[in-house]
């Protein structure tokens, strides 16, 4: 037994019992977090926060959305460190004018678009989310694409790359999203920008996009494509076709 003082005056309590209660409480909290797919790491580390800037939208126009808390981060080397202040999206290659946009410019200089689109990973899982961002063709239009360009190579802050045909990106109104389910893209899930490569396999949905390079190299292979995955990546076909 030990004597302790608190604002109610002198009290005695069994410290051993107090410790036992604390252990049970911590176990209960950790089981709850586990059931919600949240890890202690998510909460206490500041590189992969789950803090959201608003309340996620989980149903939109009658469609159920996948919660961000249930997403899987499938990246080659984990989320990169991003400095929002110095970040720019750089547009170069076969363009009339090289451009770069800050994060604020991306959200203020282009019309915003929203759309519910489902991501399908080759591993067999999928996630339906409400995306908000800018149209690829609006950005491309500002840079002025040269006639020879037929391919667009996307580069990301973690070193990942992938390429898509210019025609696919423009004719399908493909978006670069800065929000999902109504909240800013979390660091783990592509902040500041993720390509919403509708009707393509997940490996074309490049996250943490930092550079858009216009090219005439139709055979350019990105990170996963080099490992043998289909460069076309059409969802209607197998990912090795
Ligand atoms: N920069 C970058 N983007 C990436 C990847 C990656 O490793 N690095 N993985 C891709 C793969 S294989 C999938 S399935 C999706 C997963 O997206 P999500 O984390 O939003 O669920 O991200 C894609 N984009
Ligand atoms: Mo994937």
120 CA to middle of ligand 2, Å?
7
Residuewise pLDDT in 10s, the chain (241 residues): 444 444 444 444 465 676 667 766 776 666 665 555 555 555 554 454 455 567 899 999 999 999 999 998 889 999 999 999 999 999 999 999 999 999 999 999 999 999 999 999 999 999 999 999 999 999 999 999 999 999 999 999 999 999 999 999 999 999 999 999 999 999 999 999 999 999 999 999 999 999 999 999 999 999 999 999 999 999 999 999 8
219 CA to middle of ligand 2, Å?
21
**CA 193 – CA 186 distance, rounded (Å):** 10
Mind spelling out the 3-state secondary structure of the chain?
CEEEEECCEEEEECHHHHHHHHHHHHHHHHHHHHHCCCCHHHHHCCCCCCCCCCCCCCEECCEECCCHHHCCCCCCCCCCCCCCCCCEEEEEECECCCEEEEHHHHHHCCCCEEEEEEEECCCCCEEEEEEEEEEHHHHHHHHCECCCCCEEEEEECCCCEEEEEHHHHHHCCCEEEEEECCEECCHHHCCCCEEECCCECHHHCCCCEEEEEEECCCCCCCCCHHHCCCCCCECCCCCCC
**CA 52 – CA 35 distance, rounded (Å):** 19
HSE-up (13 A, CA, CB side) for residue 41: 4
**CA 181 – CA 166 distance, rounded (Å):** 27
CB distance 185 to 176 below 8 Å:
no
Closest ligand 1 atom, residue 158 Cα: 1
27 CA to middle of ligand 1, Å?
32
> pLDDT value at position 144?
96
Closest ligand 1 atom, residue 190 Cα: 20
Return the residue whose CA atom lies nearest to atom 8 of ligand 1.
75
Return the residue whose CA atom lies nearest to atom 9 of ligand 1.
75
Return the residue whose CA atom lies nearest to atom 24 of ligand 1.
206
Return the residue whose CA atom lies nearest to atom 7 of ligand 1.
75
1 CA to middle of ligand 1, Å?
56
> pLDDT value at position 3?
45
72 CA to middle of ligand 1, Å?
9
Q: Best of 127, 200, 203, 209 to mutate for ligand 1, by most ligand atoms within 8 A of CB?
A: 203
């Amino acid at each position: 037994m030990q004597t302790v003082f608190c604002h109610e005056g002198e009290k005695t309590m069994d410290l051993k019992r107090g410790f036992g209660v604390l252990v049970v409480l911590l176990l209960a909290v950790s089981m709850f977090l586990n059931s919600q797919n949240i890890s202690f790491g998510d909460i206490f580390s500041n590189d992969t926060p789950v803090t959201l800037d608003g309340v996620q939208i989980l149903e939109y126009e009658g469609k159920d959305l996948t919660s961000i808390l249930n997403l899987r981060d499938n990246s080659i080397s984990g989320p990169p460190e991003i400095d929002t202040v110095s970040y720019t999206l750089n547009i170069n290659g076969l363009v009339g004018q090289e451009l770069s946009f800050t994060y604020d410019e991306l959200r203020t200089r282009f019309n915003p678009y929203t759309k519910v689109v489902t991501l399908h990973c080759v591993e067999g899982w999928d996630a339906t989310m409400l995306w908000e961002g800018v149209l690829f063709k609006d950005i491309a239009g500002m840079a002025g694409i040269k006639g020879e360009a037929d391919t667009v190579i996307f580069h990301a802050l973690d070193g990942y790359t992938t390429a898509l045909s210019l025609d696919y990106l423009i004719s399908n109104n493909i978006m670069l999203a800065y929000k999902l389910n109504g909240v800013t893209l979390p660091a783990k899930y592509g902040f500041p920008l993720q390509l919403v490569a509708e009707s393509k396999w997940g490996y074309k949905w490049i996250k943490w996009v930092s550079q858009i390079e216009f090219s005439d190299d139709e055979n350019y292979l990105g990170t996963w494509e080099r490992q043998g995955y289909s460069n076309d990546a059409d969802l209607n076909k197998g990912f090795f076709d």
